[in-house]
Amino acid sequence: MAETHYFLGCDPAPAQQEKSDEGALVIERARLLTVEWSDNPSDWQRDMVFARSVKHVGKARARTWSGAIHSLHRSYGFTRIALDAGAAGGGPWIKGELSSTHQSIEGLDQECTPIVTADDTTVAQGQFILMMIKRGDALVEMLCPELSGDDQLNDFMYSLLREDLDHAALGLMPPLRDLKGELKEWSQARREAAGAMAQTVVQLSKFYVMTKDDGTYLTTKRGSRQFGSVGRKDLVSGLTYANFAFHCWLKSGEGALERAGSKDVPFGGFR
């Protein structure tokens, strides 16, 4: 069985109303296509296999997000979890909750091994698989060490995603209309995941690079492109982070050292 790894991208977003989305969770799967280890991205088959729009969760939002991430990690065994570090979306608070030994999972208080960043020294035993999407994070700096602004990081991550999509290196969800004969036989959880992944593709089609009247890119003072979206883009951000996490992990060389074998799971999204 092919060596398989899973990467979670988390984009929490503040909800203004009870019916608002809080953000998104998106999972990318990477399978090694060669017998020998390879740090060449083209030697990995990658697909989006799960997505979820997280709804309004009220005052306990950081704890609820943390429980959802821990729950997914139990199913997938993530190699890396990428979390938006922006304070507006609650990233720093979610990071703190992830390091707790007790999590609220499906309404029950459960004991868990903390999920922390590689440089965390506050826990004696933890899962050091969390990376914060910001300049200064050890894994981010390993892949792109000379960024002088967050605008450059955003441009870099989008470029990676766009290149992978343009070269068919990352598989997306097919249109739901192509799956009508199968949908009715799926569980509710699988249909919801399919719907969210299909919505990710829709968001991608409405996500664009901003331009001036003359057709040239609208850039920041540091020359980074600026982006816009017609409607929400939280699922696109989640996919961008998951894809970036894969590239950071591959660059780190950790997989070549560990070669832990396959971590494939029966179903948590799509195979």
- What CATH code is carried by the domain that includes residue 20? 3.30.420.240
Whether 123 is covered by a domain: the verdict is yes
Q: Is 91 helix (H, G, I), strand (E, B) or coil?
A: helix
Place 106 in a pLDDT band, splitting at 50, 70 and 90. Answer: confident
For tokens 């950790």, the residue is: 254
The Cα–Cα gap between 269 and 173 comes to: 11
Whether 271 is covered by a domain: the verdict is no
How many domains is the chain built from?
Answer: 1
Query: Backbone phi, then psi, for 229, in 5-degree steps?
Result: -150, 140
Q: What is the pLDDT of residues 224-267, one digit of tens each?
A: 888 888 988 899 999 999 999 999 999 988 888 876 444 554 44
The pair of three-digit structure tokens given for residue 241, joined into one six-digit string: 């982070």
Rg for the chain, CA atoms, rounded:
18
Parallel, antiparallel or unpaired: strands 102-105 and 108-111 = antiparallel
Query: What single letter denotes the amino acid at residue 105?
Result: I
Query: What single letter denotes the amino acid at residue 147?
Result: L
Whether 235 is covered by a domain: the verdict is yes
Q: Which residues span the domain enclosing 213?
A: 4-258
This model's pTM is above 0.75: yes
Q: Which of 2-6, 54-58, 103-107, 174-178 shows the highest mean pLDDT?
A: 2-6
Q: Does the pLDDT value for residue 55 go beyond 80? A: no
Q: What is the pLDDT of residues 123-156, one digit of tens each?
A: 888 999 999 998 888 888 888 887 888 889 989 9
Whether 200 is covered by a domain: the verdict is yes
